[in-house]
Structure 1
């Protein structure tokens, strides 16, 4: 009890909003008092909790994460749920690709949801960062999903061309000049390539949208996360590349998802 109280006090003093929950997790993760002291010291210095634990909770799953890999955000559960609704409407064996996959959390969550509903899914993922690819393979290899390393669509096998039903692309969308205003946990520890979306936050999205139509199956969907302010501009980009766009929003998750659909004919 004394150790737990001391850990909570140290975390609370460092500004951790959920100090009690974090203390419980760190205590469970530590094998010795010395290891616990080291974990608490790193957390107090700003190391993301998920890096210390080696995993993040996302959509009811324990997803492996590692230092230098983007930590999945809880608001992205809305993107997964939106994708699941679209997937169910297709009523067939689905091809899903998680682009800019990071840890692979989005693809893993969607595939797990659909598998529980007995919907057959072929999942693949890709990321340019070798650290992220290694982490994603830890999460996705057990379910038989390959993870490719390369720039956007470049590493995907040609057999997926024109066949993707659901394309998840959680592209970085923080404007470059806003990075400095992000919480230190993200700004100082996560890879800038996973955060920085260029001057208006949509640079990587534009590149995805430019090629998405040729990779999507007829009637297939591209889903990205954006800020509310960026959504209208993202719709214009989709229209420029022949995709029908719409926006879905969730007050519960504080999330905005932009959806681009390839015409069925």
Structure 2
């Protein structure tokens, strides 16, 4: 970490603030800690002032009390997604079988491994090779398998009907709204991690349709969604036999949906 004079630090903070960094003082402190020398620090500050996400410059993001490794292009976990952790923990009992879909960096799985009561199974899935590599890095010490593939497709067939919790922070931004996202997201994160299709529910709709055959009776699907999409997603979930509940946290500005598979879903499937 390079030595930085008070005047140089003040100039750094001012440059970051003028570039639109709301927490300029904190960011300057983190960049100083991440730099190996003065030249590296100058490069990091310049890249941050140009709009590159702080997390990519540091190589990590804080989420749920964990330091999560993030790599360029991989979706950076948002503070509001902590609501998914709370919603999942509220509906999941001890010894649960848990799978995270659209896992990105694997942040949710990493935090849920600590929050849930002795889960008997943890696994994560993503379609993006960069995200899979990043998640494997974050989950290696927990020996959590990370599958490469589309939603449920790469999971072992033997897990069908046995999952107690499926959690996903799938993309839900309508395609037409992508230009309204912060430039950091638009310019640096993978489009597939953001684009939810025409109404934002393209992937969530597919996930909902397949979830009942993978969930155990009484199991839950837990997803993040936009506040304006709650009614539409609730109709989709109800249509496939799940029982949806909306969870909202105004402080986090986050909205989640939990959807329970009742025993009746299992009965109907067994009759077919």
Contact 1:4 1:27 in 2 (8 A): no
1:132 paired residue number: 131
Distance, in Å, in 1 between the alignment partners of 2:60 and 2:120 is 25
Gaps of 5+ in 1: none
1:53 paired residue number: 58
Contact 2:87 2:258 in 1 (8 A): no
1:6 paired residue number: 11
Gaps of 5+ in 2: 1-5, 265-272
Distance, in Å, in 2 between the alignment partners of 1:227 and 1:155 is 27
Question: Normalization by structure 2: what TM-score?
Answer: 0.93
Contact 2:105 2:131 in 1 (8 A): yes
Q: Shift of the alpha carbon at 1:53?
A: 0.4
1:94 paired residue number: 96
Q: Give the SS at the match of 1:16.
A: coil
Question: Normalization by structure 1: what TM-score?
Answer: 0.96
- Identify which of 22, 31, 38 aligns with 1:26: 31
Distance, in Å, in 2 between the alignment partners of 1:234 and 1:107 is 23
Matches within 5 A, 1:78-117: 78-87=83-92, 90=93, 92-114=94-116
1:154 paired residue number: 153
Distance, in Å, in 2 between the alignment partners of 1:10 and 1:236 is 48
Distance, in Å, in 2 between the alignment partners of 1:164 and 1:71 is 26
What is the CA RMSD across the aligned residues, in angstroms? 1.0
Q: Does 1:166 align with 2:147?
A: no
Distance, in Å, in 1 between the alignment partners of 2:245 and 2:144 is 29
Distance, in Å, in 1 between the alignment partners of 2:33 and 2:10 is 14
1:236 paired residue number: 235
Q: Shift of the alpha carbon at 1:195?
A: 0.4
Q: Shift of the alpha carbon at 1:159?
A: 2.4
After superposition, what is the alpha-carbon deviation per residue over 1:181-214, rounded to whole angstroms, capped at 9, x for unaligned?
1100001110110000011100000110110000
Distance, in Å, in 2 between the alignment partners of 1:143 and 1:6 is 42
Q: Does 1:141 align with 2:143?
A: no
Q: Shift of the alpha carbon at 1:248?
A: 0.8
After superposition, what is the alpha-carbon deviation per residue over 1:164-190, rounded to whole angstroms, capped at 9, x for unaligned?
111111110000000001100001110
Q: Shift of the alpha carbon at 1:9?
A: 1.1
Rate the CA distance shift 1:121–1:10 in 2: closer, same or farther, 3 A. farther
After superposition, what is the alpha-carbon deviation per residue over 1:210-250, rounded to whole angstroms, capped at 9, x for unaligned?
10000011100001111111001000000111111110111
The number of residue pairs the alignment matches comes to: 259
Structure 1 stretches of 4+ with a deviation exceeding 3 A read none
Which segment drifts farther, 16-25 or 105-114?
Answer: 105-114
2:180 paired residue number: 181
Greater C-alpha radius of gyration = 2
Q: Give the SS at the match of 1:106.
A: helix
2:218 paired residue number: 219
Q: Shift of the alpha carbon at 1:3?
A: 2.5
